[in-house]
Amino acid sequence: MSQKTPNDTAKTDQDKGGAYDAGAGVLPSDGVTLWQVFLIFLRLGLTSFGGPVAHISYFREEFVHRRRWLSDARYADLVALCQFAPGPASSQVGMGIGMALGGARGSLMAWLGFTMPSAIVLAVLGITFVHFDLAAIDNVIRGLKLVAVGVVAHALVGMARNLCPDVPRATIAVVAAGVMIVSDTVLAQFGVIIGGMIAGFILLRTVTEPESYDAPTSHSTKGAFFALGLFFALLAGLPIVAYFDHSGLFAVIDGFYRSGALVFGGGHVVLPLLEAAVVDPGWVNQEAFLAGYGATQAVPGPIFTFASYLGAVLHAGEGSGTWLISSVTALITLIAIFLPAWLLVIGILPFWDRVRHVQSMRAGLLGVNAAVVGLLAAVLYEPIWTGAIHDAFDIVCVAVAFAILQWRVMPVWALVGLGALLGYVVGLI
């Protein structure tokens, strides 16, 4: 079945020899099918190493730079929205892209494709209760980290060029980066985004932008209200149901749902909430928890797929025949932790799509987009650069990866494979 999203404004076909215009996004004339959305995100789920910020950079490379289906402006708006909302930021960005391409079903296909690879691997590890030996693939992971640095750097340069073309916006980005480097907290992140919006209102009111932003897509307002209502109903109702449920199933669902609904910043920030949800009640021991967390670092895709491992390991070691129960539990915990993010995307994005096209809001959003560039710059420095770069050889590898992306020598997935191979070979020397 094909889910089409029309272009409501007349735009030139950039794929037919025209120069790349980062200010406009153009979908294929016959739309984008749900199957296409799934396959694209499945490939990203198999190759996107490096954590949430790297994932956001991989998405930009695929949908803004390579396919040109979204403009840099719209993409930055989406990233900014996901910084405001609780949940896994990179997964929400992916869901938002899927929704822009194929509505609610498109967002579901995007999540399924991006999440499936790592979720299956981690669930299998949990079912077999294998303590993954990261030392065996240390050098492979090193190579993948270096590729991730190159991907983030390439995305940052491209976004800075398009979203910070003048002194006021460049200043906003630099200040935002400085604040985040000094104070890397969720509160600082909120402050930077809100400060960017205020600075935009003050400094960018006279900035005129061409009318080349993607036209808003048609989403159901009723569906948005239903999704938001369900989000809050589950948040309030699950603890009550869990209290009266003696099986413990709804207590597990509640713990993972709250972890996905109440965490800001995504990524590793969710770990304390998950530890409180499964370790403190005694459902998973500390050793198994840490082993699963280590394995999560070795697989691509979102860190929140750690939930599938935890769901599976709840019944590990209970005897033969428990693999089916573990599989079901892994699926339940995976859905529970991602469901809040999906409901928020479905509930908020339609209103965001309308607001961002109001002329009086554009100045503020221009400032927010510049602040997002600063956020990416800060994360590129710490922890991505500081965690991956150890010597001159690493710097050369990152420079080569950046050059490959800049001149489009090979696709990102091939570069990821090359990085893994290089890391493996270096480990043998």
Instruction: State the helix-helix crossing angle for 72-84 and 323-355, rounded to 10 degrees.
Output: 120
Sheet strands (E) in 23-122: 32-33
State the residue for tokens 């935890």: 310
Span 16-56, pLDDT tens digits = 333 334 455 677 767 789 999 999 999 999 988 777 778 99
CB atoms within 10 A of CB 377: 21
Phi first, then psi: what are they for 19, rounded to 5°?
-75, 150
Nearest alpha-carbon partner for 378 in 144, 90, 160, 142? 160
Give residue 346's pLDDT.
93
Instruction: Assess contact for 62 and 98: CB atoms under 8 A.
Output: no
Span 120-140, pLDDT tens digits = 999 988 887 644 555 666 788
Angle at 356 between CA 72 and CA 99, to 5 degrees: 65
Instruction: Assess contact for 161 and 76: CB atoms under 8 A.
Output: no
pLDDT level of residue 106 (50, 70, 90 thresholds): very high
Please check the confidence at residue 393 and state whether its pLDDT lies above 70: yes
The mean pLDDT value of the chain amounts to: 82
Rounded to two decimals, what is the model's pTM? 0.75
CB atoms within 10 A of CB 363: 20
Provide mean pLDDT across the span 384-392.
87
Sheet strands (E) in 274-335: none
Provide mean pLDDT across the span 191-215.
77
CA dist., res. 142 & res. 354, Å (int): 43
Instruction: Assess contact for 14 and 114: CB atoms under 8 A.
Output: no
Provide mean pLDDT across the span 344-349.
92
CA dist., res. 194 & res. 427, Å (int): 45
Give residue 45's pLDDT.
93
Instruction: Assess contact for 388 and 145: CB atoms under 8 A.
Output: yes
CA dist., res. 309 & res. 291, Å (int): 10
Phi first, then psi: what are they for 2, rounded to 5°?
-100, 130
Give residue 342's pLDDT.
95
Nearest alpha-carbon partner for 63 in 43, 82, 81? 43
Provide mean pLDDT across the span 289-310.
82
Please check the confidence at residue 83 and state whether its pLDDT lies above 80: no
Structural domain spans, the chain: 30-205+356-428, 223-342
Q: Which residue(s) pair with 2 in the sheet?
A: 33
For 166, the token pair is: 């003048």
Instruction: Assess contact for 47 and 117: CB atoms under 8 A.
Output: no
Q: Which residue(s) pair with 33 in the sheet?
A: 2
Element at 207 (helix H, strand E): none
* Dihedral-angle region of residue 68 (phi above 0 means left; psi in -120 to 50 means alpha; beta otherwise): left
Give residue 212's pLDDT.
46
User: In angstroms, what CA-CA distances link 149 with 106, 126, 341?
Assistant: 29, 30, 26
User: In angstroms, what CA-CA distances link 257 with 46, 96, 286, 342?
Assistant: 25, 20, 21, 12
User: In angstroms, what CA-CA distances link 363 with 177, 192, 203, 208, 228?
Assistant: 20, 16, 8, 9, 28
Nearest alpha-carbon partner for 79 in 246, 266, 262, 217? 266
3-state secondary structure of 180: helix
Instruction: Assess contact for 402 and 150: CB atoms under 8 A.
Output: yes
Taking the alpha carbons at both ends of the chain, their separation in whole angstroms is 51
CA dist., res. 135 & res. 42, Å (int): 27
Instruction: Assess contact for 262 and 86: CB atoms under 8 A.
Output: yes
